[in-house]
């Protein structure tokens, strides 16, 4: 309800929505440039992803490489990438969560909240 029974100012509402969309686009661009890390095996494997979850780098300590046990190395790589992606999702929540709520909360395709 609008105090006094008046109609909402549609132009003002549209301007607010456009501003929120612009803020969201800026935050998404910032996320794409921000890199976060995840590691596994006590730091033997480190993965770097951008804030959008795209894998940008992978560092494997030579001590983690055992030709007789490539399965453990594969598990460490997967765990490091998952840890990095969890950190990226947390960053997305921090950067985009308030903006998404301002646009009606959740339900924005492609966002994990």
- Can you tell me the distance from the alpha carbon of 75 to that of 17, in angstroms, rounded to the nearest whole number? 44
Q: Domain 34-101 has what CATH class?
A: alpha beta
Residue 55's SS3 state is: strand
User: 77 or 16, which is more confident?
Assistant: 77
Residue 61 class from Cβ within 10 Å (0-12 exposed, 13-18 middle, 19+ buried)? middle
User: 93 or 98, which is more confident?
Assistant: 93
Task: Check: CB of residue 5 under 8 Å from CB of residue 40.
Answer: no
Model confidence band, residue 7 (pLDDT cutoffs 50, 70, 90): low
Q: What is the mean pLDDT of the chain?
A: 83
Model confidence band, residue 6 (pLDDT cutoffs 50, 70, 90): low
pLDDT, average across residues 19-24: 84
* Residue boundaries of the structural domains of the chain: 34-101
């Amino acid at each position: 309800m609008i105090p006094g029974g008046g109609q909402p100012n549609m132009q003002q509402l549209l301007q607010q929505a456009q501003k929120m969309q612009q803020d969201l686009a800026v935050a998404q661009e910032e996320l794409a440039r921000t890199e976060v890390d995840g590691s596994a095996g006590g730091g033997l494997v480190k993965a770097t992803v951008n804030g959008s979850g795209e894998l940008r780098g992978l560092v494997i300590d030579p001590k983690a490489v055992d030709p007789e046990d490539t399965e453990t190395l594969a598990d460490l790589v997967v765990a490091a990438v998952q840890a990095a992606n969890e950190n990226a999702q947390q960053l997305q929540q921090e950067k985009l969560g308030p903006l998404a709520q301002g646009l009606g909360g959740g339900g924005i395709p492609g966002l994990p909240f």
